[in-house]
Amino acid sequence: MKSLLITSVKIVLPESEYHQQVVDVLIENGTITQIAPSITNNDDQVEIVAGAGRILSAGFFDLHANFGEPGLETKEDLHTGAAAAAAGGFTGVAVMPNTEPAIQSRAEVALIVNVAKGLPVSIHPIGAISKKREGTELAELYDMQQNGAIAFSDGNRAVQQAGLMSRALLYAKGIQALIISHAEDASMAAGNKMNEGEMSTYLGMKGIPNLAESLMVSRDLYLAEYNEAPIHFSCISTVEAVDLIRRAKAKGQPVTCDVAAHQLVFTDAEVVGFDSNYKVSPPLRTAQDNAALLAGIKDGTIDAVVSQHSPQEIEYKRVEFHVAKNGIIALQTALPLLVRAGLTEEEIVNTLAVNPRKIVGLKQPKIAVGEPANLVLFDTVSTWTFDENTNKSKSANSPLFGEELTGKVTLIVNNSQIIKN
């Protein structure tokens, strides 16, 4: 790797001794070798990047991305997913088991770990809780953990059987693993396509009530408490879920949660044009839910923000809203959405870089001399256009496609590689 000198950059990393300081940072052979107010460079082999007006932080880590490999590589493979992640400032990504076959045994976990070797973005598989993600029989959790799975989830399917979820929590506790819950009661959601409320009534579409999420959050909190096990809720979207998790945390229960970046900005009002790029699971909710989610980030109830990157081929999106597949490509737009939502620099770093790694027990990157460089350089004021020229994903299913966005990643450094935008 070429040596890199980042000049006059503000470091934002709350646990770093350089937090909120403006410094020069020299990286050589993938390692941070100097940090000082000013570094003199006489080596023409050192690439200099101006950091003035920009922020240097630990690389972002996404707790919830969907790549297609194995089996669904036409949506996204590990290489294109990593390219999209790098462009969005992510140096690490946890991939959900929504593949064919599902990530449900050591074979699929080992495949992902091996294919991802050498990529500039570290890719970590999340194993399925149940075989084929069908919610009836526990998958091989221990074998998957031994081969590199960092947590367990049935991805975009909720575990409907309380008994199976209880056993999963108990078993995962025994091997010091984390269960990630997708909270949706299928009998309440009933296969409907958007949020239940004034907008669904206006559009004449059957809706999914907030209760579908809060019922499952409540159930899984009780199950986790009964088994004295930790639990993580991914992509919560409702006022009620925030309140339930806040109360659980207040009484000391080991629960964490995240929210998808688009849930902080978009509402069900976007669906009025029947643009299928706004069709996601859980569905876009109301402005009141948005406000509750933002408040949850501010008070620490919500620990992390995820992309919920869900690529889909054009034939699954350019169709009528009610038959379109769920999902938004979002690795490259997570930062701009958090800027649009009004998060501070420190909140962005905590929710995108620090807390996601804490949740799954990964080592925290440090900005210190002698440490391997795992960094992102970004700012919250520059603009760029998300279009076919800048999109790194195989898919293009984003309501932000063609828009000028605020909040730009300049580069990442990870695994002794520099990737520039």
Whole-angstrom Cα distance, residue 318 to residue 396?
11
Q: What is the pLDDT at residue 43?
A: 83
Domain end position, chosen among 360, 395, 411? 360
380 vs 56, 255, 352, 384, CA distance in Å? 12, 30, 14, 11
Domain boundary among 360, 385, 404: 360
Q: Are residues 121 and 238 in the same domain?
A: yes
- 401 and 383 both lie in a single domain: yes
253 and 402 in a single domain? The answer is no
pLDDT given for residue 245 in this prediction: 98
Task: Specify the CATH number for the domain of residue 233.
Answer: 3.20.20.140
Same structural domain, 49 and 65: no
Is the domain of 245 the same as that of 106?
A: yes
Question: What's the CA angle centered on 257, arms 251 and 258, to 5 degrees?
Answer: 150
Q: How many CA atoms lie within 13 A of 73 on its CB side?
A: 9
Residue 388, burial from CB neighbour count under 10 angstroms (0-12, 13-18, 19+):
exposed
Q: What is the pLDDT of residue 310?
A: 98
Report the C-alpha gap between 269 and 284 in whole angstroms: 8
Q: Same domain for 65 and 50? A: no
Q: What span, in angstroms and rounded, lies between the C-alpha atoms of 364 and 13?
A: 11
Whats the size of the chain, residue-wise? 421
Q: Rounded CA gap, 128 and 114, in Å? A: 18
Separation CA 347–CA 366 (nearest Å): 17
**Predicted pLDDT at 44:** 81
Radius of gyration of the chain (CA): 21
Is residue 402 a contact partner of residue 79, using CB atoms and an 8 Å limit? Answer: no
* Amino acid 330: pLDDT: 98
Residues 16 and 31 in one domain: yes
- Asked if residue 196 and residue 337 are part of one domain, the reply reads yes
DSSP assignments along 14-80, one per residue:
TTSTTTT-EEEEEEETTEEEEEES------TTSEEEE-TT-EEEEPEEEEEE---TTT-TTT--HHH
Name the stretches of the chain with pLDDT < 50: none
Q: Among residues 57, 76, 30, which one has the least CA distance to residue 409?
A: 57
- Same domain as 135, residue 177: yes
Q: Say yes or no: 78 and 183 in one domain.
A: yes
Count of structural domains, the chain: 2
The pLDDT value given to residue 2: 84
The parent domain of residue 410 ranges over: 4-56+368-420
pLDDT at residue 384, rounded to an integer: 98
* CATH code of 395's domain: 2.30.40.10
Angle at 7 between CA 5 and CA 10, to 5 degrees: 120
Q: Is 5 helix (H, G, I), strand (E, B) or coil?
A: strand
Task: Determine the Cα–Cα distance for residues 143 and 103; give it in Å rounded to an integer.
Answer: 12
Do 384 and 352 share a structural domain? Answer: no
Pair 194, 229 in one domain: yes
